[in-house]
């Protein structure tokens, strides 16, 4: 049985493994296909490709893009887009700028709450990522001994509605689905009913995203219980969308998301690749190795 995990993070965003370590760990976990999907960046791709070639793992180049639909955050997994497509690149730049510019605001709030945190503490937590996020601020608080772990940092300070929460720019979801397609890739909505439940992205909204060109729904995810998975699988079937499953692995940064804890069925993966191949062809890309 081919084992496929289509959603993982490295140190290029808020995972805790280098892309090489991630690929090696995926192999060791018995995976045959791995997608690297760092937040808002393709920075980890080249290293991951080299590592995957060396250990015989099939690698899907992806990213998890920060978007917003009707006021709610939507994480959009984009597989196999050309990250240098001008429209996509410009929007990713805007998102990354939004990430960077909110960090000082978060730190100011934390200092107002008595923390000793400074920008260098955050940089030290991950000097290499272009996609600084709240998990890096959390890691800095852990290093300072002010919280026990990332979870506590989110609970006390960084989570939505907590005192050091600061919003940032996210791209309109429907617009981003179009950009990903123009860039020769396909979009899958990540953990649609993960943190907030069906209220956020109800069936009708998933249908609207499907009309806009969405290719799939991440059904099997740790944040989804059995009932939610059944419902989402039904919606995917009704809308003709691919149903994926994945770990959303963040190394040691997120407990209970071990590599391969959820997987994607081979026939669903093949459908996704067919859609990506079609999008790539339509986009007029000449890059020879778009797929895999
Ligand atoms: P940001 O990218 O700055 O908006 O931070 C959001 C990221 O933080 C998400 O993608 C999750 O990976 C991570 N995250 C959210 N809540 C928690 C939590 N309670 N513990 C650890 N990581 C979390
Ligand atoms: Zn993350
Ligand atoms: Fe996510
Ligand atoms: Fe993720």
- Whether 205 and 91 map to the same domain: the answer is yes
Pairing of strands 72-79, 186-189: antiparallel
The answer, yes or no, to whether residue 288 has pLDDT greater than 60, is no
- Whether 255 and 221 map to the same domain: the answer is yes
Q: What is the pLDDT of residues 90-130, one digit of tens each?
A: 999 999 999 999 999 999 999 999 999 999 999 999 999 99
So what's the pLDDT on residue 197? 64
- Whether 186 and 279 map to the same domain: the answer is yes
Ligand index nearest the alpha carbon of residue 14: 2
Residue 209 lies in a domain: yes
Q: Which atom of ligand 1 is nearest to the CA of 248?
A: 12
The span from the CA of 273 to the CA of 265, in Å, is 13
Residue 124 lies in a domain: yes
pTM: 0.96
So what's the pLDDT on residue 290? 44
- Whether 211 and 264 map to the same domain: the answer is yes
Query: What spacing in Å lies between the alpha carbon of 114 and ligand 4's midpoint?
Result: 30
Residue 171 lies in a domain: no
So what's the pLDDT on residue 98? 98
Give the mean pLDDT of 4-11: 98
Query: What spacing in Å lies between the alpha carbon of 88 and ligand 4's midpoint?
Result: 19
- Whether 91 and 232 map to the same domain: the answer is yes
So what's the pLDDT on residue 165? 98
Query: What spacing in Å lies between the alpha carbon of 8 and ligand 2's midpoint?
Result: 9
Query: What spacing in Å lies between the alpha carbon of 191 and ligand 3's midpoint?
Result: 7
Q: Which atom of ligand 1 is nearest to the CA of 135?
A: 8
Report the CATH number that the domain containing residue 131 is assigned in CATH. 1.10.150.650
The answer, yes or no, to whether residue 39 has pLDDT greater than 90, is yes
CB-CB neighbours of 153 under 10 Å: 24
Count how many domains the chain has.
Answer: 2
Q: What is the pLDDT of residues 238-285, one digit of tens each?
A: 999 999 999 999 999 999 999 999 999 999 999 999 999 999 999 987
- Whether 38 and 150 map to the same domain: the answer is no
So what's the pLDDT on residue 48? 97
Least confident of 61-65, 111-115, 286-290: 286-290
- Whether 87 and 114 map to the same domain: the answer is no
Residues with CB under 6 A from ligand 1: 14, 39, 133-135, 150-151, 154, 250, 254
Q: Which atom of ligand 1 is nearest to the CA of 133?
A: 3
Query: Would you place residue 69 in the very low, low, confident or very high pLDDT band (cuts 50, 70, 90)?
Result: very high
- Whether 30 and 56 map to the same domain: the answer is yes
**Domain span including residue 143:** 103-158
Please, which residues have CB less than 5 A from ligand 4, an ion?
64, 248
The answer, yes or no, to whether residue 1 has pLDDT greater than 90, is no
- Whether 214 and 275 map to the same domain: the answer is yes
Q: What is the pLDDT of residues 207-234, one digit of tens each?
A: 999 999 999 999 999 999 999 999 999 9
Query: What spacing in Å lies between the alpha carbon of 182 and ligand 4's midpoint?
Result: 23
- Contact 180/83 with Cβ under 8 angstroms? no
Residue nearest to atom 16 of ligand 1 (CA): 154
Query: What spacing in Å lies between the alpha carbon of 135 and ligand 1's midpoint?
Result: 6
The answer, yes or no, to whether residue 144 has pLDDT greater than 90, is yes
Residue nearest to atom 13 of ligand 1 (CA): 135
Residue 169 lies in a domain: no
The span from the CA of 231 to the CA of 243, in Å, is 12
> Ligand 1 test: best mutation among 106, 254, 257, most atoms within 8 Å of CB?
254
The span from the CA of 226 to the CA of 208, in Å, is 24
- Whether 222 and 77 map to the same domain: the answer is yes
The span from the CA of 153 to the CA of 146, in Å, is 9
- Whether 151 and 119 map to the same domain: the answer is yes
So what's the pLDDT on residue 284? 87
Give the mean pLDDT of 128-154: 97
- Whether 135 and 268 map to the same domain: the answer is no
Report the CATH number that the domain containing residue 53 is assigned in CATH. 3.20.20.140
The span from the CA of 292 to the CA of 289, in Å, is 7
Q: What is the pLDDT of residues 158-200, one digit of tens each?
A: 999 999 999 999 999 999 999 999 999 999 999 999 976 667 7
Residue 246 lies in a domain: yes
């Amino acid at each position: 049985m081919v084992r496929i995990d289509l959603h993982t993070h490295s140190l290029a965003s808020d995972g805790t493994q280098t892309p090489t370590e991630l690929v090696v760990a995926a192999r060791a976990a018995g995976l045959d296909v791995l997608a690297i999907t760092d937040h808002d960046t393709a920075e980890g791709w080249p290293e991951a490709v080299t590592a995957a070639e060396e250990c015989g793992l099939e690698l899907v180049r992806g990213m998890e893009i920060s978007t917003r639909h009707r006021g709610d955050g939507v994480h959009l997994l984009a597989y196999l887009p050309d990250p240098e497509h001008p429209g996509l690149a410009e929007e990713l730049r805007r998102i990354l700028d939004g990430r960077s510019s909110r960090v000082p605001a978060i730190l100011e709030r934390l200092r107002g709450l008595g923390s000793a945190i400074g920008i260098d503490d955050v940089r030290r937590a991950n000097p290499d990522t272009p996609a600084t996020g709240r998990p890096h601020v959390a890691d800095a608080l852990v290093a300072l001994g002010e919280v026990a772990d990332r979870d506590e940092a989110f609970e006390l300070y960084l989570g939505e509605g907590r005192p050091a929460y600061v919003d940032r720019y996210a791209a309109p979801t429907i617009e981003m689905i179009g950009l990903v397609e123009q860039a020769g890739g396909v979009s899958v909505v990540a953990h649609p009913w993960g943190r907030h439940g069906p209220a956020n992205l109800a069936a009708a909204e998933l249908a609207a995203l499907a009309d806009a060109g969405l290719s799939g729904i991440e059904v099997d995810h740790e944040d989804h219980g059995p009932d939610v998975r059944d419902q989402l699988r039904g919606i995917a079937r009704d809308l003709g969308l691919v149903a994926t499953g994945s770990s959303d692995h963040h190394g040691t940064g997120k407990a209970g998301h071990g590599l391969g804890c959820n997987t994607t069925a081979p026939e669903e993966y093949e459908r996704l690749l067919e859609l990506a191949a079609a999008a790539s062809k339509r986009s007029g890309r000449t890059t020879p190795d778009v797929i895999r």
